Amino acid sequence: MIRANRILGRSSSVRKVQPIDKPKVSKIRFADELGGFDTDDDDSFEMVEKPARYLVNSKKCKMLFADPFSRAVMEVFKPPKLKSCSNSTDVFRVQYDEQAKHYNLIVDRDILLKLNPLVSRVDCNYREITIDTEKRPEHNSNLNAPVYFRGQCALPRDVKSIMVECHDALKSSRILQRDAFILIPVNDTSKNTENRPLERQPSVIVLGLGSMSRMNFQRTMPKTARFVNRKGWFELEGYNKVADSTIPNLLTILSGHTMGHLEQRCALESNGCSWIWNDYKRAGYVTALAEDNVGGAAFLQNMTGFEDVAVDYDLRPLLVGIGRAFSLYEKVKHSYCVGRRLGISYVYEFCAQFAESFAQKLEQPMFGFFWSNTVTQDSNFAASGLDGIFANYLNRLEKGKLFDNSIVVLVSDHGAHDGVLMDLSDGFLEERLPLLHIYLPPWFHNTYPHYAQALAMNHNRLCSNFDLYNTLRHLLQLNATTPAMLPALASCPMSQSLFHLLPMERSCRDACVKEHWCTCNEFVKLSLDGEMYLLGKRVVYHINRWMLTHHYNEVCQRLGLQDMDMAEQKMSYEENDSESTYGSIVVYRLLFRTYPDVGKFQATVRYNRELESIEELHVPDISRLNSYKNSSECVQDEIAKKFCFCYPKTNLSDAMREWQTQKITTIPAF
């Protein structure tokens, strides 16, 4: 936290904002819950004023409802087409032989011959992809010698991934098709019942879609949204993220701690931390982990603590190996492709195989964490192209009886970070309210009706990542019928399981959601006067000071305030439910732009009007609202990237050189 005095000048110049007496109405355009509507102008349509709607409505939290299909958002809703990774029909398939307990690799000769009718003779082979655990993930895969076969072959039981190809027998460089497969070897001896605390334990499957707000989920994935609207599914509309980006949000779900607490408590950078799947494994579950971003995966990017996770089945090194193997031969078509398939397809197929292998064949409880962000992270609306694929996999899992004994969690880390959605009035909510749906199988609902009832009643109550973590650990202690029976989390003592009724009167502080991420209060716009510009300059000063403290000035340019776009003040709610802006301590929300180039930022500042000082400004939480992908390649730190504009390679100005050599001890006060 940063505390600084004498920020805004004389107290007499600080504008006192009068209490606002406004009717609780807002202009809301209602549409079909899932289907949206035609965005063409319609003279017969009228905006109707309706009472303000809230996802959470209590004295401590008034979380505004935002229409996913508002006129403003539908005017910019232009989903890109998800381009195919390959235009050819699949030649290869793998099939599990139940009796022989191995996979068969099969070539469709008819399709193969159609690919190139001029080829007179074809040779086919597969190469096993193996993992060297002694090396780092980006370098630990090996492509073994080819094994030739004709038509069909039985794969060794211990093979986990293969690359397969068919080529012209007379010219091996003429490839007809190349593909890769992930296999889950099923071993009856892996069944473990020793540590199971209950006679019947639910399997737990976590399906993650990166950068997906609850609003954008309804907007871009209507087929999937309809699926999770079925009986047995529960939506947590008051789910509020606790951090900026993917890694810190996921770390809380997986450990119950913030990233800062983990760095203090365990060796986060050297595989020294315990994760939720460790608890499930100790309880007799078979465990799996998968993600689809082989280039900069959520767990691999700057996170050496996830190199050697103790799960039974880990897709990540296998998928990295497949990606590397393909890169030896051909350029990847699109960032979301791994060879001729979507990276996310490998994750879903891995999940399906995992579920079919253990839920059906061995009847062993399983815990799986399956994360995808390659399609959804770089475009606000790209998930539209994923909708049918994802819904089909959910239907496949349902037909495969996964839902009979599994609790399924569909969750995201956060909403959109940048793009057109951030320019809309609801952008604040889009970023901070990720989707969260939980499915309970009928037997669980019948066995634990009080848990199902609490989950249903929590539909419109404030909750956070800490509560989701508590829910996952509660599933291993189902006899914990009251919140007090689950040990409190050191990082968030007032968090609790979603299977226990959350307090109606719950604040962001109770849920361990920081001020900057909290959606529990409404804001009123302020005029952009000199005081707000001075405050904006002070925020930029503290950004520069943070970069200087961490020595990023050596590679990143100094920022300056270009312009203020908006200033808002948080409404406070009095005991009589009235709204007020009085008080010596106020919270401002600032939207501003910086130079060089254009950086768009949003900061939350806690300000003392009596002392004329910033009480609280947490620089790492400042949001970057436009893309910085191509301007911050000179740094790897996730926080620094938000504020970094790399120096040009040549022709540095004198001001740049001065900043580059600046020391924290010599930086002038604001």
Q: The whole model's pTM is what?
A: 0.88
- Look at the block and give the residue holding tokens 């809703």: 77
CB contact at 8 A, 457 and 235: no
8 A C-beta contact, residue 497 and residue 470: yes
| Torsion sign over Cα 575, 27, 414, 217 | positive
pLDDT tens, 149-193? Answer: 999 999 999 999 999 999 999 999 999 999 999 998 766 544 555
Q: Alpha-carbon distance 400 to 366, whole Å?
A: 15
Query: What is the spatial distance between Cα 412 and Cα 217, in angstroms, rounded to a whole number?
Result: 10
- CB of 615 closer than 8 Å to CB of 606: yes
pLDDT at 92: 97
Give tens-digit pLDDT for 380-393.
999 999 999 999 99
Exposed/middle/buried for residue 207 (C-beta within 10 Å: 0-12, 13-18, 19+): buried
Distance between CA atoms of residues 51 and 337, nearest Å: 46
**3 state SS of 378:** coil
And the tokens for 79?
């989903």
What is the predicted pLDDT for the residue at 12? 32
Q: Residue ranges of the chain with pLDDT lower than 70?
A: 1-52, 133, 135-139, 186-199, 267-272, 294-308, 328-333, 359-362, 573-583, 666-670
Q: Is 147 exposed, middle or buried (0-12, 13-18, 19+ CB in 10 A)?
A: middle
What region does 226 belong to: left with phi over 0, alpha with psi -120 to 50, or beta?
Answer: alpha
Please give the DSSP secondary-structure letter assigned to residue 500: S
> What radius of gyration do the chain's Cα atoms show?
27
Q: What's the CA gap between 161 and 138, in Å, rounded?
A: 16
- Is 148 in a helix, a strand, or coil? strand
Helices in 66-147 by DSSP H: which ranges? 71-76, 109-115
Query: Residues for the chain: how many in total?
Result: 670
Tell me which H or E stretch contains 600.
strand 599-608
Tens of pLDDT, residue by residue over 36-52, are 333 333 433 344 445 56
Residue 319: phi and psi, rounded to 5, are -70, -35
Domains and CATH numbers, the chain: 11-61+521-666 (3.10.450.10), 92-182 (2.60.40), 188-517 (3.40.720.10)
Distance of CA 167 to the CA centre of its chain: 40
Distance (Å, rounded) from C-alpha 165 to C-alpha 151? 12
Placement of tokens 């000179």 in the chain: 634
Distance separating alpha carbons of residues 522 and 506, to the nearest angstrom: 16
Contact predicate 580/574, CB 8 Å: yes
| Burial of 38 (C-beta count, 10 Å sphere; 0-12/13-18/19+) | exposed
Distance CA 103, CA 612 (A): 71
- Helices 387-399, 343-355: crossing angle, 10 deg rounding: 10
List Cβ neighbours of 298 (8 Å cut-off, separation of 6 or more): 210, 246, 247, 250, 291, 371, 373, 413
The closest of 114, 111, 121, 110 to 168, measured between CA atoms, is 121
Please enumerate in sequence order all residues whose Cβ is within 8 A of that of 460, keeping only pairs 6 or more positions apart, or say none: 55, 56, 57, 237, 238
Yes or no: say if 604 and 593 are a contact pair by the CB < 8 Å rule.
no
Output the CA–CA distances (angstroms, integers) from residue 286 to 194, 277, 363, in the order listed.
13, 9, 11
Sole residue written with tokens 């905006």: 47
Taking the alpha carbons at both ends of the chain, their separation in whole angstroms is: 17
Contact present, 301 and 320 (Cβ < 8 Å)? no
pLDDT of res. 192: 53
652 near 520, Cβ under 8 Å? no
- β-bridge mates for residue 178, sequence order: 165
pLDDT (0 to 100) of residue 320: 81
Whether 124 and 150 have beta carbons less than 8 Å apart is answered as yes
Rounded to the nearest angstrom, the gap between the alpha carbon of residue 169 and the centroid of all alpha carbons in its chain is 46
In SS3 terms, 151-169 reads as: CEEECCCCCCEEEEEEEEC
CA separation for the pair 70, 47 (Å, rounded): 11
The DSSP symbol for 204 reads E
Q: Which of 285, 277, 440 is nearest to 362 (CA)?
A: 285
Q: CA-to-CA distance for 223 and 385, rounded, in angstroms?
A: 11
Residue 620, preceding peptide bond in cis (omega within 30° of 0): no
The residue type found at 531 is E
